[in-house]
Amino acid sequence: MDRSIILKADKCEIMKAEWGTLTWFAGQKLKNSKDMTLGKCVIKPGCENPMHSHPNCSEILVVIQGLILHTIEDGKEIEMKPGDTITLPPNLPHKAKNISNDDAVLFIAFSSGDRQTRGE
């Protein structure tokens, strides 16, 4: 018996913001994962998402395209390029700013199928 779950591309959840988009591929809300949330974040040139945190899960972010300046709660800034990865523990406030001339594309994974966000 096959226990895999297929989610077709047209069933993904896309959230638009002034700074860019979030596309969700897996998670509890999509009914294809109770254990993880997976998505893609696109940040427009010169834009940034708001400072936020995730109280119930860790986040792993991988830069796929562009350059970002990742800021964490104490103001520490980390410049990240394609292939760079950052792991963020629960409750750590952070944000990403696109410092390149093209869209920045980030792959994001969370350790909960029911990712919660504060401050978004």
Residues 75-117: tens digit of each pLDDT: 899 999 999 999 999 999 999 999 999 999 999 999 999 999 9
- In the chain, the domains with their CATH numbers are 13-110 (2.60.120.10)
Share the mean pLDDT of the chain.
Answer: 95
- The answer, yes or no, to whether residue 1 has pLDDT greater than 60, is no
Q: For the chain, how far is it from start to end, CA to CA, in angstroms? A: 40
pLDDT of 4 reads 87
Q: Is 9 helix (H, G, I), strand (E, B) or coil?
A: helix
pLDDT of 59 reads 98
Q: How confident is the model over 66-79, as a mean pLDDT?
A: 94
pLDDT of 120 reads 66
Rounded distance between C-alpha atoms, residue 96 and residue 81, angstroms: 12
